[in-house]
């Protein structure tokens, strides 16, 4: 059964975690019993706090923004500065490299695409939990020229894109449809197998328009001075959602964990989340230094990272805010294609909420 689930999930990834005791002495025991009870209470020393246990944690992330926010934590781990949590990090090139290892227990925590987290939850009968959102929208409309100033300006254009059958396609369709543009009739969407192919097509088309994620959007800008970012799809998504009465955000990446690991090591999970949040803040606040670490860990070149970070929407959103933003996003994906989220929108147990 597990092999069947893994095969299904790999295919999906390719398309595209005090009890308080009270007691009272019986009033009928008299003054002597009262005195003895009081004496015993006063003489009892407070129980020492149980130190946090040492926990080995295997963490996986994808090359790109989801790993870029993790580099400070990776450096601290290398220096032995992560307290009782002891990490082993793996940077993967694609989700299908992470999915089977996560299911089999080789990874405890992983940064994955938002919709894949939902698929994992549904296909493993709730054995995955999402801990936090780590990346909002990283998609941008990039053009070779200065003709696109609104979504309406895309009508009649050819748009180069990758990610057919996955989040990029659903995001583009939602943005176009919400602005009165039929994705099937009013534009020509030419899907490529890789983001790099979209960059190449854009470079060679004087009137070209492409939907590109970071850091590929920055790479395109560095190759041709006439290229520019025309539209931020995160802002366009949120504008469309607001018009439709929704607070959903365009969510690219999340951090998930195996539920059995969360249940077994709740304190280690909290320590990780605090350290990870600080790492993300470091990346956003110290772009130059973070870029050097990003190159050190072979994610992308520092020069590209330095220009891309401000546009990567690397963030840390947990708790009820995470549930609201991610839940609304998954609802929209479900409306377009239920299989994009694993057949159904996840139940409340999908969301890790600190108790």
Three-state SS at 71: helix
What mean pLDDT is predicted for residues 289-295? 98
DSSP string, 159-224: EEEE-TTSHHHHHHHHHHHHTT--TTTTSEEEEESSHHHHHHHHHT-TT-EEEEETTHHHHHHHH-
Q: Which domains does the chain have, with CATH numbers?
A: 55-136+249-340 (3.40.190.10), 139-243 (3.40.190.10)
Does the pLDDT at position 306 exceed 70?
yes
26-30, 57-61, 248-252, 327-331: range with highest mean pLDDT: 57-61
What mean pLDDT is predicted for residues 66-80? 97
Does the pLDDT at position 46 exceed 80?
no
Express as a percent the part of the chain with pLDDT over 70. Answer: 85
Three-state SS at 137: coil
Does the pLDDT at position 31 exceed 50?
no
Work out the pLDDT band at 355, boundaries 50, 70, 90: low
What mean pLDDT is predicted for residues 58-76? 96
Work out the pLDDT band at 159, boundaries 50, 70, 90: very high
CA-based nearest residue to 96, from 118, 83, 112, 84 = 112
**Choice between 229 and 246, residue whose per-residue pLDDT is larger:** 229
- 91 close to 73: Cβ distance less than 8 angstroms: no
> Beta strand 109-113 with 128-136: parallel, antiparallel or unpaired?
unpaired
Work out the pLDDT band at 35, boundaries 50, 70, 90: very low
pLDDT digits (tens, 9 = 90+) for 329-339: 999 999 989 99
Three-state SS at 353: coil
> Beta strand 227-232 with 109-113: parallel, antiparallel or unpaired?
unpaired
**Predicted local distance difference test score (pLDDT) of residue 51:** 58
What mean pLDDT is predicted for residues 251-262? 97
DSSP element (H, E) containing 244: none
**Predicted local distance difference test score (pLDDT) of residue 247:** 76
Q: Which residues pair with 189 in a beta bridge?
A: 159
């Amino acid at each position: 059964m597990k092999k069947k689930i893994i095969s299904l999930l790999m295919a999906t990834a390719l398309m595209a975690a005090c009890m308080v005791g009270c007691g009272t002495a019986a009033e009928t025991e008299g003054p002597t019993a009262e005195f003895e009870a009081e004496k015993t209470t006063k003489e009892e020393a407070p129980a020492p706090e149980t130190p946090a246990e040492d926990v080995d944690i295997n963490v996986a992330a994808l090359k790109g923004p989801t790993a870029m926010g993790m580099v400070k934590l990776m450096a601290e781990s290398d220096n032995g500065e992560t307290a009782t949590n002891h990490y082993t990090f793996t940077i993967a090139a694609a989700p299908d490299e992470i999915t089977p290892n996560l299911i089999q227990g080789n990874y405890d925590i992983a940064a994955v695409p938002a919709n894949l987290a939902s698929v994992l939850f549904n296909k493993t009968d709730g054995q995955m939990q999402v801990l936090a959102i780590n990346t909002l929208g990283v998609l941008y409309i990039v053009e070779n020229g200065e003709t696109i100033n609104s979504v309406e300006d895309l009508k009649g254009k050819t748009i180069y894109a990758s990610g057919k059958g996955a989040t990029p396609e659903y995001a583009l369709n939602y943005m176009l449809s919400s602005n009165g543009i039929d994705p099937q009739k009013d534009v020509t969407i030419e899907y490529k197998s890789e983001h790099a192919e979209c960059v190449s097509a854009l470079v060679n088309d004087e009137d070209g328009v492409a939907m590109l994620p970071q850091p590929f959007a920055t790479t395109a800008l560095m190759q041709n001075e006439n290229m520019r970012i025309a539209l931020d799809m995160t802002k366009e998504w949120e504008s469309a959602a607001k018009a439709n009465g929704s607070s959903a955000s365009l969510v690219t990446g999340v951090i998930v964990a195996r539920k059995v690991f969360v249940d077994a090591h709740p304190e280690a999970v909290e320590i990780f989340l605090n350290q990870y949040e600080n790492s993300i803040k470091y990346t956003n606040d110290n772009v130059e230094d973070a870029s050097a670490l990003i190159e050190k860990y072979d994610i992308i070149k520092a020069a590209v990272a330095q220009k891309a970070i401000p546009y990567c929407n690397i963030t840390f959103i947990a708790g009820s805010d995470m549930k609201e933003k991610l839940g609304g996003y998954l609802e929209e994906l479900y409306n377009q294609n239920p299989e994009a989220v694993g057949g159904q929108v996840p139940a409340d147990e999908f969301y890790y909420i600190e108790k």
